[in-house]
Structure 1
Amino acid sequence: NLYLWRRLQLAQTQGIPGEVLTYELQPTAENLAGSVKLEVDPQRLQGRLVAQGLPPLPEGRVYALWVVLEPEAPFTTDRAGAVLVAAFPVDETGNRQQELRLPPVFESTEWVRAVAITEEDGNRPQEHQGSPLWISG
């Protein structure tokens, strides 16, 4: 019964069936170029990342896409309260388009505080050493 009750709650908070949520990320510093957008289908837990004009990174470095959760969220997070969604490079012009499988936290927006991009070590992006470079408002 608890499981069915929770699924009903999720269905009610998701809004219109087939609705796609869009997170527009803004740079955290004036000298940062580029734009990042994450489109989320909460029912299918599918997403599409569109990054344009980001600064290319040195060899061995990647951008990491994080979902930052509310403190009381019932999910396992890192010390920053975030879950790694994907690590990705950009091409020489700073662009990247990628389809993503999203973590279950995206089934309901009630637990999502923000979506952010950091720069991380390509071999260990899950260590979350970087500060947000782009973040949703």
Structure 2
Amino acid sequence: MTKKKAGAHPVGAPWTADDIAIAVRMWKQMMLDPKARGEPMLGRKDAACGAIAKALNRSVEAIRSRYRDYGIGFASKLGDCAQPARRADPEAERKRLALAAARARQDAIGALLNDPPPGYSALDERRGSGGDAPSHDRRLPHRRDVVA
């Protein structure tokens, strides 16, 4: 069981303008410090994230995530504290909606027994008759399907 630090920000707590200003100031001091020239860059980044996390009473991962999303400014170019806009891939969104529609067509017994939705079974995928899977049917044609 992990103990929560006293006064720690809850997970996902919004960053204030003061938090951002402190993070930027500390980042610049630690990363641009002329005394740390011999130290490898990765070591300096880890040290900077750790120091900022301690000063802001946040987790190191929260600092790394904020840096990864926004860069050294720790905020968007507009100066607000909002999260960056993330968009789903249109193809992934289409597949998600198709799967949801197939699940809506599924009967109660199939859902209860955890059957795949119509068109998404392994057999349907092999036949290429459903879902988003391409047809990989390499079987030989059946006797009745061959015209002599």
With the length of structure 1 as denominator, give the TM-score of the two structures. Answer: 0.19
Q: Which has the higher strand share?
A: 1
More helix by share: 2
Larger Rg: 2
Name which structure has the greater RCO, CA cutoff 8 Å, separation 6+: 1
